[in-house]
Amino acid sequence: MKAFIIDRHGKKEVGHIASVPEPALREDDVLIQVYAAGVNALDSKIRSGEFKLILPYTLPLTLGNDVAGTVVRVGSAVQQFNVGDEVYARPDQDRIGTFAERIAVKAASVALKPTNLGWEEAASVPLVALTAWQVLVETAHLKKGQKVLIHAGSGGVGTIAIQLAKHLGAFVATTTGTANVEWVKALGADQVIDYRTQDFADLLHDYDVVLNSLGNDVLEKSLTVLKPGGMLISISGPPTPAFAATQGLSWPLRQVMRLLSSGIRRKAKRKGVEYRFVFMRADGPQLREITSLIEAGSIRPVLDKVFPFEATADAMAYVDAGRAKGKVVVQVVPPAGRGSE
């Protein structure tokens, strides 16, 4: 089968399409015919080698962390899915590879595709929606009437997180560029900070939660908007000792994580708030909850651009440029080729 692979890690590595063996199917897997695959900043970080200490992938490596497609085979222990089911998923982090014609995914990480979404829309959802869920619902326990600041509101995670936070009944502030101010308001943001002309730290106070996806300067400044007992949650680092423990990392790596996050943890403690790092994980039951919200109209994916499979490298470059409004998707099988084997 065809797949988009990298042969080595590095910032100059682009990747290319090659013929690779079809993935082996484990007893608890489903084999998915990939129709579309979401493109995430995570793909470029993996390609550059940014995560190779904590995610030591074997090279050559097929990239891709979001999938939507049909089940073409099921493992012997799988009972919840059947051949022909329309599904979507974020594969487990040690078994990525959705930029390919087929992928084997653990059934527990898969959910039925929302009935009101097309394939490209569905492929844009899993990673960013699970990230938003695991930050706002699982970690922050965001409640009605609380105040949350979501940085980068026009990005992939931001567009979903704004909608999820509003569904939970929170007051939502977000940051974005001038051109996107009205656009993110339409997504449900109550207060929009134009980072080109305004400083969020001057305008926002007594917030319960901050979702950070930006750099260390924004991370530290975000402490100033939180009230005592609040929570600063970052999906862009630095990672914490607690994260290292959940990953089962070696003692030396745990000490590295401890050192990397010691500054922000210390500053958070001085302000009476908590710092958490979230590295999202695959979770089929959570994805089913998200499906229900999408089918009810509470959340809608925001699709910026669709690239053909042959232009996967271009799709990654477009995401790297940081100008996407919502998500970018690679169309692995064009509409004319779907529904037939």
pLDDT for 143: 97
140 and 267 both lie in a single domain: yes
At 296-339, the pLDDT tens digits run 999 999 999 999 999 999 999 999 998 899 999 999 998 877 75
Q: Evaluate whether 99 touches 60 at the Cβ level (below 8 Å).
A: no
Question: Which residue range forms the structural domain that includes residue 150?
Answer: 127-277
Q: Evaluate whether 132 touches 155 at the Cβ level (below 8 Å).
A: no
pLDDT for 8: 96
Say yes or no to pLDDT of 134 above 90.
yes
pLDDT for 52: 84
Average pLDDT over residues 266-284: 97
111 and 219 both lie in a single domain: no
Among residues 341, 338, 340, the alpha carbon closest in space to that of 119 is found at: 338
Say yes or no to pLDDT of 340 above 60.
no
273 and 143 both lie in a single domain: yes
Q: Does 209 fall in a domain?
A: yes
164 and 262 both lie in a single domain: yes
Q: Does 282 fall in a domain?
A: no
* Crossing angle of helices 41-48 and 312-320, rounded to 10°: 100
Local structure of 31: helix, strand or coil = strand
Question: Residue 72 maps to which CATH number?
Answer: 3.90.180.10
What token pair was written down for 232?
A: 């600063």
Q: Does 107 fall in a domain?
A: yes
Q: Does 295 fall in a domain?
A: no
Q: Tell me which of 269-278, 282-291, 330-339 is least confident.
A: 330-339
What token pair was written down for 171?
A: 């007051």
Q: Does 83 fall in a domain?
A: yes
* Crossing angle of helices 126-133 and 156-167, rounded to 10°: 50
CA 324 to chain centre: 14
Q: Evaluate whether 276 touches 240 at the Cβ level (below 8 Å).
A: yes
What rounded mean pLDDT belongs to the chain? 96
pLDDT for 341: 39
138 and 111 both lie in a single domain: no
Q: Does 50 fall in a domain?
A: yes
Q: Does 293 fall in a domain?
A: no
At 76-118, the pLDDT tens digits run 999 999 999 999 999 999 999 999 999 999 999 999 999 999 9
pLDDT for 337: 74
Question: Residue 200 maps to which CATH number?
Answer: 3.40.50.720
At 190-239, the pLDDT tens digits run 999 999 999 999 999 999 999 999 999 999 999 999 999 999 999 998 99
Partners of 87 in beta bridges: 69, 112
Name residue 31's amino acid.
Answer: L
How many domains are there within the chain?
2
Partners of 274 in beta bridges: 231
268 and 332 both lie in a single domain: no
82 and 140 both lie in a single domain: no
At 241-270, the pLDDT tens digits run 999 998 888 898 899 999 999 999 999 999
pLDDT for 322: 87
Assessment of whether the complete model's pTM goes beyond 0.95: yes
Supply the DSSP string of 150-214, one letter for each residue. Answer: ESSTTSHHHHHHHHHHHHTT-EEEEEE-GGGHHHHHHHT-SEEEETTT--HHHH--SEEEEEE-S
Q: Does 291 fall in a domain?
A: no
145 and 184 both lie in a single domain: yes
